[in-house]
Structure 1
Amino acid sequence: MSLSKEIQTLKNFQCEDRCVLSVYLNTNPGDPEQLNGAWRIHLKSGLKRIDEYLKASDDEKEIKAFNAVKTKIEKEVEDNKNDLSKGVVIFASADPELWSVHYVQVPVKTSFHWENHPVTQEMEYMYKAYPEAGIILPSFGEVRILDTAMGAVIGEVTYEFDPNLEGWGERSKASAAHNVGMGSSKGDAIEPRLRENLQRFYKGMGEIVAKLKKERGWAEIHVSGEADLANAFAETLREKPASCIYKNLNNSKPSDVLHQVFEK
């Protein structure tokens, strides 16, 4: 399910009594206020405030519903403490059941909400600023594609091209590590025949990108590569890319690619 559809599903979720805990937690290690894992303190204190409020109301049904999701949320974040990004957004309910977790690479303001529906406004603002997007990294020999949403990579695939055989196909991420030199050829060194084959390859890839855009619900596409290759690929797209960066990031870590595309 695309993130836009998931947000809509969350907006439609509702229960008779208060049963949904919405948590927005800032876990950004680069934030001075988050030094030494301060998010743990913020998570504990935020949940404690709601717990104390419910105990004061003496509503056993609500207390039971809250405790069921509180424990689950605490375990979820603690189990993933070594892989935290800039923030965590969680929507949880025990009955009716709801469990929606998002580790995001965008700024998150810590807040806690106990309502009869998921509090999605902040999530919607974040999504509007960082929508689902495809990042295309063309080089001579391969095209790497990152499927992103909320500033995080949710999928990755590489298509490899053999200029001599004039064939190409999808390559798994694991095998990509064995071909780190594929993107190093300079455009002005490409023979006319190989350039023609490469253009044919890019044209076919442009059609694949258009299909992925529709399937994944990408709001925009970004292209990054050496100037001549990036421009050549951008020309094959039906719609002009949101950005075209003249830098070969084909062998960069996904987090570095995201930084170059969204934060520069």
Structure 2
Amino acid sequence: MSFTISETIAWLRNVHKDGADKVFTMYLNTDRSDKEQQGGEWKIHFKNGMRNFEKYLKQDSNKEELANFQKVKKKVTNFIKEHEQSFQKGVIVFASADDDVWFAKCVQMRLKDEFYWQETPEIHQLVELKERYPKIGVILVQQNQVKVIDSETNRIKDTKVFELDVDTEDWKVQGTRRLHTTGAGGPNMQKDNFASRFAANQQRWYKKIAPKLDKLAKDYQWERIYLIGEADSTKELEKSMNKQIDAVLQKNMLDHEETKVLEEVLA
């Protein structure tokens, strides 16, 4: 299952187990920048959390439920071992012995350590994360280039870079490398010619890319949209789009790392 937080919450709200069948929930803080995690304390927290459930079930003499928990424990422990080197700030797991429930993700958000073994998944931290980190789109504009960042739960899911072909006047998807305008004459002449042409056609050119951006906003299901760029460009592009822009930052950040851009808009 892909990590679309709204869909995940809706799915988990409908999960309910009976009898010896239970659902395991884990929120584990693995943030190395946390002063309480400098020595890999998450390993101790994980070990203790699993051991406490196992100890309780052994004392309760519920062999079937203990067997179910041990199945889940093995699967979760394997996930931890396989992904330990790629840990970010936290790990979220929902699991059941019958594999009806299995959701395990490393996330770029700090979590509070919590472990549950009960009839239903414990989703309160997931709901809090959705409220704190909505599904957002960031549109960075700089004259004839537009970069789009799709992000959810403080994690970059996709990026696209559009470059205006000034000969055909079409916006084409490019790679993430920086492209430069070409033309006849030396660099200064190229720059001056393009600046003059862009100033004369800016409104019309941005109207051509606006429907593409509106479609991306719909396809990605953005809950908030941020527009970043110089005043003239952001103003013109915002007017051309049908989707509501929630915030405008008048900065040139198109060449900045995507993670730094997210930090700026979520600050």
Q: Considering the TM-score relative to the shorter chain, is it more than 0.5?
A: yes
1:247 aligned onto 2:241: no
Contact persistence 1:22–1:119 (CA under 8 A):
yes
Which runs of 5 or more residues in structure 1 are unaligned? none
Q: What residue in structure 2 maps to residue 44 of structure 1?
A: 47
Matches within 5 A, 1:210-221: 210-221=214-225
Contact persistence 1:15–1:96 (CA under 8 A):
no
Distance 2:256 2:78 in 1: 32
Q: What residue in structure 1 maps to residue 185 of structure 2?
A: none
Distance 2:74 2:201 in 1: 57
> Match for 2:135: what amino acid?
E
SS at match of 2:39: coil
Q: What residue in structure 2 maps to residue 14 of structure 1?
A: 16
Identity level (%):
29
Say if 1:163 and 1:180 are closer, same or farther in 2 by CA, change over 3 A.
closer
Contact persistence 2:92–2:104 (CA under 8 A):
yes
Which of 114, 122, 132 aligns to 2:117? It is: 114
Worse-superposed segment, 69-78 or 191-200: 191-200
Contact persistence 1:19–1:95 (CA under 8 A):
no
Q: What residue in structure 1 maps to residue 132 of structure 2?
A: 129
Distance 1:58 1:200 in 2: 74
Say if 1:165 and 1:97 are closer, same or farther in 2 by CA, change over 3 A.
same
Larger Rg: 2
Say if 1:208 and 1:101 are closer, same or farther in 2 by CA, change over 3 A.
farther
Q: What residue in structure 2 maps to residue 176 of structure 1?
A: 176
Contact persistence 1:158–1:176 (CA under 8 A):
yes
Contact persistence 1:163–1:194 (CA under 8 A):
no
Q: What residue in structure 2 maps to residue 222 of structure 1?
A: 226
Distance 2:96 2:138 in 1: 34
Contact persistence 2:171–2:209 (CA under 8 A):
no
The C-alpha deviation readout for 1:152-171, integer Å capped at 9, x for no partner, is 11222222222233122223
Say if 1:160 and 1:96 are closer, same or farther in 2 by CA, change over 3 A.
same
The C-alpha deviation readout for 1:181-227, integer Å capped at 9, x for no partner, is 68xxxx99953432454433432332223222222221111112233
Q: What residue in structure 1 maps to residue 187 of structure 2?
A: none
Query: Shift in Å at residue 253 of structure 1?
Result: 2.3
Which of 34, 37, 41 aligns to 1:34? It is: 37
Distance 2:171 2:243 in 1: 24
1:261 aligned onto 2:262: no
Query: Shift in Å at residue 232 of structure 1?
Result: 2.6
Distance 2:114 2:192 in 1: 54
1:232 aligned onto 2:242: no
Q: What residue in structure 2 maps to residue 157 of structure 1?
A: 160
The C-alpha deviation readout for 1:25-60, integer Å capped at 9, x for no partner, is 112222111112221221111111112112222222
Say if 1:80 and 1:247 are closer, same or farther in 2 by CA, change over 3 A.
farther
Distance 1:189 1:152 in 2: 39
Say if 1:67 and 1:157 are closer, same or farther in 2 by CA, change over 3 A.
farther
The count of aligned residue pairs is 255
Normalising to structure 2: TM-score of the pair?
0.85
Normalising to structure 1: TM-score of the pair?
0.86
1:148 aligned onto 2:145: no
Contact persistence 2:29–2:110 (CA under 8 A):
yes
Which runs of 5 or more residues in structure 2 are unaligned? 182-190
